[in-house]
Amino acid sequence: MGLRPRRRLPAGRLSAPPRRPGRSRPGPITRITVDMEEHPMSQQQTPAVAPSARTGWLPAPVGELMPLVTGLGAGLALCTACELGLPDAVEEEPTRVQDIAERAGADPDLVGRLLRALAAFGVFSPAGTDRFTHSRLSSILRTDALEGGGVFLQTVRDEWMGGSWTGLTEAVRTGSPALPARHGKSLFEYFATDAPREGETFNEAMTLMVGSMNEVLAEHIDVGGATRYVDVGGGQGTMLRAVLRRNPELRGVLFDLEQALTEVHEELRTGDLSGRCEIVPGDGLRSVPDDADIYQMRTVLHMWDDETCVRLLRNCARAAKPGARIIVIDQLVDPERPDPMSTLMDLQMFLIAGGRERSEQEFASLFERAGLEFTRVVRTPVLLHLIEAIVPA
């Protein structure tokens, strides 16, 4: 004998009344309704609900956490799409999932589901039930895109970054950065000896991201009659190039480790600015070039712990003319108004090198310990700002 299906109750009914004896069909049913706003259990046990496009109908506190929880999956989905070459497999016109999967050498069903998941975040756009086209965000992930979005995604997939984040729990427990603990060497030693391709991708990503801010930063630098300008840790020299182009009276020194100076911008090596630019290899933790009016460090101090930063700043103070200026270009952390970019970058800097992002007060403390006088912060419309000090007379 089969089981009889359980009857569904209309909304608002708590139970069905029993059948009356001797009748084959149920008698009249009394409809019972409950005002949930006045019901005491609704206020004590029913959590608030916060529907949204990202969280759905989840209790409010849990719903608010869901972007953090799902963010890991979304990031890995994006990395997977790039690793499979999906941005290059999607054409300008709507492209069939089957064709995309064949070009990627992947399972068509899962490619479609992956694209659908990314489309929910604005990466790719559905065009019918079995086709996708590019969105503004997916288009910058193509290998020929000038914006270089794929380069940034490659750094996330590389061991130096992705592997370091997997060591966050142990790093927080021990107070030791993850990458040196994992590989027994510093980040740049790791690039030089173990992963040169990762080092090249890192340099390319930094040139694209930080280099895109050069013109704005140079516009906010007041050289104030200076004649000799040293870019400490300047790498390819793109920041110094922007400063020299805006200040024709200025002579520059590009100073960095020898291995960091292998791809100096052509304009500084042999081009129009070569006559005003000296390229000097060296280690700033030992010494820096003498007698400059301005020593500038862009995204250098955030790589190091406080003791190392003070050591570098002291070397600048010793080498500089009295009254010379120190310009640090970095992010600024606001302890009372934390933002995702600076705070997550702060953790990343610790994981890979023991560094940190700093507040205005923390920079002022570094300057004081190095024998410098903190003067001001020049805020810019981009991610990085200018934190300045002077060498006492």
pLDDT tens-digit series, residues 15-68: 444 444 444 444 444 444 444 444 443 444 444 444 555 555 566 677 788 878
**Do 96 and 178 share a structural domain?**
no
What is d(CA 297, CA 372) in angstroms, rounded to the nearest whole number? 15
**Do 164 and 137 share a structural domain?**
no
**Block residue for tokens 């390319």:** 204
Of 134, 183, 265, 302, catalytic: 302
Residue 307 lies in a domain: yes
* H/E run at residue 16: none
Q: Is 134 a catalytic residue?
A: no
What is d(CA 330, CA 218) in angstroms, rounded to the nearest whole number? 14
**Do 164 and 73 share a structural domain?**
no
pLDDT at 38: 44
What is d(CA 352, CA 171) in angstroms, rounded to the nearest whole number? 10
Q: Where are the beta strands (DSSP E) in the chain?
A: 95-96, 125-126, 131-133, 228-232, 251-256, 277-281, 294-298, 325-330, 373-378, 385-390
Residue 343 lies in a domain: no
- Who contacts 375 (Cβ-Cβ below 8 Å, separation ≥6)? 325, 388, 389, 390
Answer yes or no: are the C-beta atoms of 168 and 342 closer than 8 Å. Answer: no
**Do 377 and 230 share a structural domain?**
yes
Which of 121, 149, 177 marks a domain boundary?
Answer: 149
**Do 201 and 168 share a structural domain?**
yes
* H/E run at residue 134: none
What is the domain range of residue 285?
211-335+352-390
Residue 244 lies in a domain: yes
What is d(CA 251, CA 314) in angstroms, rounded to the nearest whole number? 23
Whether residue 153 is predicted with pLDDT greater than 90 in this model: the reply is: no
pLDDT at 105: 97
* Selection from 355, 358, 384 nearest residue 164 by Cα: 355
Q: 0.95 exceeded by the pTM? A: no
